Structure 1
Amino acid sequence: MESMQNRRAIAVERVVWWSVQASLIAGIYYMYTQSNGTKMFMGALTVLVMIGLALVQRRFGYPLPAIFASIVYFFIFFSVVIGTFGGGYRINHFDDFLHIFSGIWIGYASWIILRRLLRNGGASELPDSFVALYMISFSLAAAAVWELLEFAGDKLFSFTAQGRDPDDTMIDMIMGLIGGAITAFVILKLRRRGLYVKKQ
C-alpha cells in the first residue's frame, strides 16, 4: 500500500513539474514578446532550478518526498508564473499569501531535515516544545535568508523584489514566520495522533 501511494505521489510530482515547466517557458516567451529581458532572465533561472531539482530527484532516488517537491513546484508557479509574469504582485496581499505559503513548505522542509539528521526514528522522541521552536526558528531564518537573496538580486541584477519600503521586508518575514507556525502546529497534531513515528 505504501509503495503504491509513493508511486502515485511520484507520478503526481512529475505531472506538476511538467505543467509548471510548460507555464514557465510560455511566460518566458511572453516576456520576450514584451522585450522584458529582466523577467526573461528570472524565468530562465527558474527553469534551471526546476531542472536541477528534477535531476536530484531522479539521480538520488527521490530524496525529497514527492508531496514536498510538488508543493515547491506549486510555489514556483504562483510566485513566478502568476506573480512575476502575470502581474500577480499588483494584487493586494498576493505577496503576503506567497510568504505564508513559503513559510509552510519551509517549515515542512525543516521537519524533513530533522528526521533525516536523526535517522527518522529519533525525531519521535523529541519533546513537542523543542520541535515547535526548531521549526518556527528554521522558518524565520529561511525567511531572513530569502530577503537577503532578494536584496542581492535587486542590487546585482536590477530586480525589484523588495521595492523601496523597508516595511515590506519585515512584513514578508512575519508572513514566513506565520507559515512556519502553521506547519509546526500541524506536525505536532500528527505526532500526537501517532503519525510520523515510524520510518517513512
Structure 2
Amino acid sequence: MKSKLIIILSSCFIAFMAILTIYYVLKGDSSRWQVASGGILISALPLLLLLPKIKNLFPTLLIIGYFIFIFCTVFLGSIANFYINVKWWDTSLHFYKGMLVGLAAISLYGLLVPESAKSRISKWFIFLFVLSLSVLSSVIWEIYEFIGDHTYTHTMQRGGNTDTMTDLTAGFIGALFAAVYSITLNKK
C-alpha cells in the first residue's frame, strides 16, 4: 500500500512539475521553469524510499506530509507567488517544516536505535535529538537561501535579517512541538 502511494504521488507530482516546466519554458519565464524543474527532482526523492534497505523508513502520513509541503512551497509558494502575495505563507511553511522534520527525526530514532537500547535512553535525550535535527534543517535551509540570493535569485530573503530570524524562529517553534510530542512517546 505504502509503495503504491509513493509511486502514485511521486508520479503525479513529477508529471505536474514537468508540465509546468514545459509551459514556463515556452512562455519564457526562466524563474518559474527553473523552480518547476527543481520540483521534478524533489518529487522524485520519495521514490528512494522504495529501495529495500530503507523501505519502511517513514510512516505513510509523514510521506503525505512531505508531498503537501512540496505542493505548498514549490507550486503555491514560488510558482503561484504565495510567498509574495500571502504575507504569512513563508513563516507558516517554516513552522510546518520544523514539525515535519521533527516527526521524521522521531521516525529515524525508532528505526536506528535498537529496541534493547530504547528503554535506557532518556526522553530528554530524544527531545534534544528531535529538536536539534529539526532546527539544523532550518539553519541549512537559511544557508541555502543566503547562497541562492548571493549567487542567483536575490529574492529568497527579501526581508534580510528579519526574514531569516522569523524563519528560524518559526522552524524552532515547529521543532519544539515535535520534540514535546516525542516526550509523550517515551515515558522514561
* TM-score of the aligned structures, taking structure 1 as reference length: 0.80
**Is contact 1:100–1:177 with CA below 8 Å preserved after alignment?**
yes
Out of 24-33 and 138-147, give the one that drifted further: 24-33
How many angstroms does 1:63 deviate by?
A: 4.7
Between the aligned partners of 1:114 and 1:189, the Cα distance in structure 2 is 14
- From 127, 131, 153, the counterpart of 1:136: 131
Counterpart residue number, 1:50: 43
How many residues are treated as equivalent by the alignment?
185
**Partner residue, 2:65:** 71
State the TM-score, normalizing by the size of structure 2.
0.85
Contact 2:66/2:100 (<8 A) preserved: yes
State the secondary structure of the residue aligned to 1:125.
coil
What's the CA shift string for 1:131-180, capped at 9, x where partnerless? 11221122111111110011112222325211242110011011111111
Q: Is the 8 A contact 1:107 1:184 kept in 2?
A: yes
RMSD: 2.3
Q: Deviations over 1:36-91 (max 9, x none)?
A: 2122112212212322431x122335253242222212111110011111111120
In 2, distance between residues paired with 1:28 and 1:105?
27
1:126 counterpart residue number: 121
1:105 positional shift? 1.1
Matched, 1:181 2:183: no
Q: Which residue of 71, 82, 85 maps to 2:76?
A: 82
Question: Contact 1:114–1:123 at 8 Å: present in 2 too?
Answer: no
**5 Å matches for 1:1-200?**
7=1, 9-54=2-47, 56-60=48-52, 62-67=55-60, 68-89=62-83, 90-158=85-153, 160-192=155-187
